[in-house]
Amino acid sequence: MEKIVILTGAGISAESGLGTFRDAGGLWAQHRIEDVATPEGFARDPALVQAFYNARRAKAATARPNAAHEALARLQAAWPGEVVIVTQNVDELHEKGGAQGVLHMHGILSGALCATCGHRWPAPAEMAAGEPCPACHAPTARPDIVWFGEMPYDMDEIFEHLVNADLFAAIGTSGQVYPAAGFVQEATAAGSRTVELNLEPSATVSQFDETRFGPATQTVPEWVAELLAG
Ligand code: OAD
The pairing of strands 107-114 and 141-145 is antiparallel
Give me the pLDDT at residue 230, please.
85
Can you say how many angstroms the Cα of residue 189 is from the centroid of all Cα atoms in its chain?
Answer: 23
pTM greater than 0.95: yes
Give me the pLDDT at residue 118, please.
97
Q: How far is the CA of 116 from the centre of ligand 1 (A)?
A: 30
Q: pLDDT in tens for each of the 230 residues of the chain?
A: 699 999 999 999 999 999 999 998 899 999 999 999 999 999 999 999 999 999 999 999 999 999 999 999 999 999 999 999 999 999 999 999 999 999 999 999 999 999 999 999 999 999 999 999 999 999 999 999 999 999 999 999 999 999 999 999 999 999 999 999 999 999 999 999 999 999 999 999 999 999 999 999 999 999 999 999 98
Q: How far is the CA of 88 from the centre of ligand 1 (A)?
A: 9
CB 150 within 8 Å of CB 142: no
Closest CA to 42 of 116, 92, 135: 116
Going by the DSSP 8-state scheme, the letter that residue 150 receives in this structure is S
Nearest-atom index, ligand 1, CA of 23: 2
Kindly state if the Cβ of 206 falls inside 6 Å of ligand 1. Answer: no
106 catalytic? Reply is yes
Kindly name the residue from 69, 94, 104, 106 that is annotated as catalytic.
Answer: 106
The pairing of strands 107-114 and 120-122 is antiparallel
Atom 18 of ligand 1, nearest CA residue: 215
